Amino acid sequence: MVTRLPLEDAVLAILRPTLEEREHVCGIAKRLLEAIAQSGKAQGMVVGSIARHTWVRGDRDLDVFMLFDAGLSREQLEEEGLALARKIALEFSTKFHEKYAEHPYINAVIDDVDVDLVPCYNVDSAIRIQSAVDRTPFHTRYITDKINGLIDDVLLLKRFTKAGGIYGSDQMTEGFSGYLCELLVLYYGGFTPLLKATVEWHPHIVIDPEHHAAKEFDEPLIVIDPVDPRRNVAAAVSLDRMVEFVELARGYLESPSEKYFLVPTPQTITKKELAALLANRGTGLYAITFATPPYIEEVIVPQLKRSMTAISEHLERNGFAVHHAHYTMEEERCMFLMELLVTELPNIRIHKGPPLWNRVNAEKFREKHVVSPLPGPYINDGKYEMEVPREFTRADDLLTSETLLQVRLGKHVRQVLANGWELKKGTECWHEEFAPFIAGFFDRCSPLVRVKRP
């Protein structure tokens, strides 16, 4: 029998869905499955945490898959699947729209429950999938068969990771998915045994529940999918999220507290508070805002990350030291936010040339620059170097110049920026839409530090 701390029992009393909520959600699921069966076109199946009874109270996200014959072409699956999903959504709701992952599906709101109606192939093995979503029914069957007795442990782990800011396999979070939480609880035999094992985790640790890995992986955390030996369930988990989980586990085991299960209230900052903060720090804050490209988060966020890195490197190459830079994606607008240690520079800089023993290149360098209004070329430490005019003396000029489009931006980010962007400086970076993001930008700390704050 699992022994729990009193505080964990108190947390579970809040996390478990009520009987009324279960009956409401499961009733909708039953009606949807009946509608799919009556269509005669596909087999219906509830997947995800609701099917596995590992959902947290209030998280009313119902995933209903429609399993079509594996002999259909991809075009037929998309056409027939979307048509059936739309027809069923119409029977139950007027609030629905198309969404896109690997292929289109319908998202609907039915009696305050968020429902995804997803077409997929009905394959007999996860290693024979034809689209990524085909694997999901196998996940549901695997967990459902084994999770009895450990459902509460999964609920604790989900809230533990969510409170720590590391729950979610989306591109912005790079954290733990619900399925990964379930597998970890199964593998270690409970919430507390998992935490005790976690404190000794190291990068590239391999967890293989079925001992059947069919390839090697290089991610920080490797959890081989028990239904697909070629897949790492933890592929989305970044090194930082993995280490933050280790830190939280150590902190909780040393001094358990209900604080580890409290989801922080969203941060915010006023324009006046931002002004005082910048005055105290003495740094330069710049924000580039632009229209959000019309693609899903999984496509755009990696491009934002790559673009932010490229812009930061562009600033550094031109002498503007970047203290911190980050990005965010909202529904209508995106933001690159940069805090610089230096915002203005002298008119000249040092241009380094080749060493003298590299005779051919050294002579080319000397002849090219032999007539210069500035000192040089001269020899320093065996190499030619000289003074040259600086292209940008103000960060403002660099960040409004067309050179921004010449760095290694993400494809869709470049396309949007080519139509123009807006640069703000200092307190003008503040905008109500981005206030939570700006607040978090200046309040960086590890999850454990946040828990231990008074």
Question: Tell me: the pLDDT tens digits for 311-334?
Answer: 999 999 999 999 999 999 999 999
Q: Which amino acid is at 279?
A: A
Measured CA to CA, the distance from residue 147 to residue 153 in angstroms comes to 10
Q: How confident is the model at residue 79 (pLDDT cuts 50, 70, 90)?
A: very high
Question: Tell me: the pLDDT tens digits for 257-282?
Answer: 999 999 999 899 999 999 999 999 99
Question: Tell me: the pLDDT tens digits for 205-257?
Answer: 999 999 999 999 999 999 999 999 999 999 999 999 999 999 999 999 999 99
Q: Are 314 and 367 in contact (CB under 8 A)?
A: no
**Structural domains in the chain plus CATH codes:** 15-135 (3.30.460.10), 151-261 (1.10.1410.30), 271-344+393-452 (3.30.70.590), 350-389 (no CATH)
* CA distance to 44, 60, 108, 430, per residue, from 111 (Å): 20, 10, 10, 38
CA nearest neighbour of 84 among 55, 141, 125, 43: 43
Average pLDDT over residues 336-356: 95
Count the Cβ atoms, other than its own, within 10 Å of residue 89.
Answer: 22
Three-state DSSP at 417 gives helix
- The maximal CA–CA distance of the chain, rounded, in angstroms, is 85
CA nearest neighbour of 327 among 353, 345, 300, 349: 300
Question: Tell me: the pLDDT tens digits for 421-450?
Answer: 999 999 999 999 999 999 999 999 999 999
Q: Are β-strands 113-122 and 61-69 bridged in parallel, bridged antiparallel, or unpaired? A: parallel
Count the alpha carbons within 13 Å of 179 in the hemisphere toward its beta carbon.
Answer: 23
**Counting Cβ atoms within 10 Å, is residue 254 exposed (0-12), middle (13-18) or buried (19+)?**
exposed
Average pLDDT over residues 376-389: 93
Q: In what order do the strands lie in the sheet with 205-207?
A: 205-207, 221-225, 228-232
Question: Tell me: the pLDDT tens digits for 96-116?
Answer: 998 877 778 999 999 999 999
Measured CA to CA, the distance from residue 173 to residue 87 in angstroms comes to 34
Measured CA to CA, the distance from residue 250 to residue 48 in angstroms comes to 29
State percent of the chain over pLDDT 90: 90
Three-state DSSP at 313 gives helix
Q: Are 130 and 75 in contact (CB under 8 A)?
A: no
Question: Tell me: the pLDDT tens digits for 156-201?
Answer: 999 999 999 999 999 999 999 999 999 999 999 999 999 999 999 9
Q: Are 106 and 89 in contact (CB under 8 A)?
A: yes
Omega within 30 of 0 (cis) for the link into 377: yes
* Two tokens, residue 59: 């998280």
CA angle 82, 50, 197 (to 5 degrees): 125
Q: What is the pLDDT of residue 127?
A: 81
Question: Which residues sit opposite 387 in a β-bridge?
Answer: 350
Q: How confident is the model at residue 296 (pLDDT cuts 50, 70, 90)?
A: confident
Q: How confident is the model at residue 137 (pLDDT cuts 50, 70, 90)?
A: very high
State percent of the chain over pLDDT 70: 99
Q: What is the pLDDT of residue 126?
A: 81
* Two tokens, residue 316: 């550094």
Residues for the chain: how many in total?
A: 454
Average pLDDT over residues 108-137: 91
CA angle 315, 320, 324 (to 5 degrees): 80
Q: How confident is the model at residue 372 (pLDDT cuts 50, 70, 90)?
A: confident
Q: What is the pLDDT of residue 167?
A: 97
Q: What is the pLDDT of residue 1?
A: 56
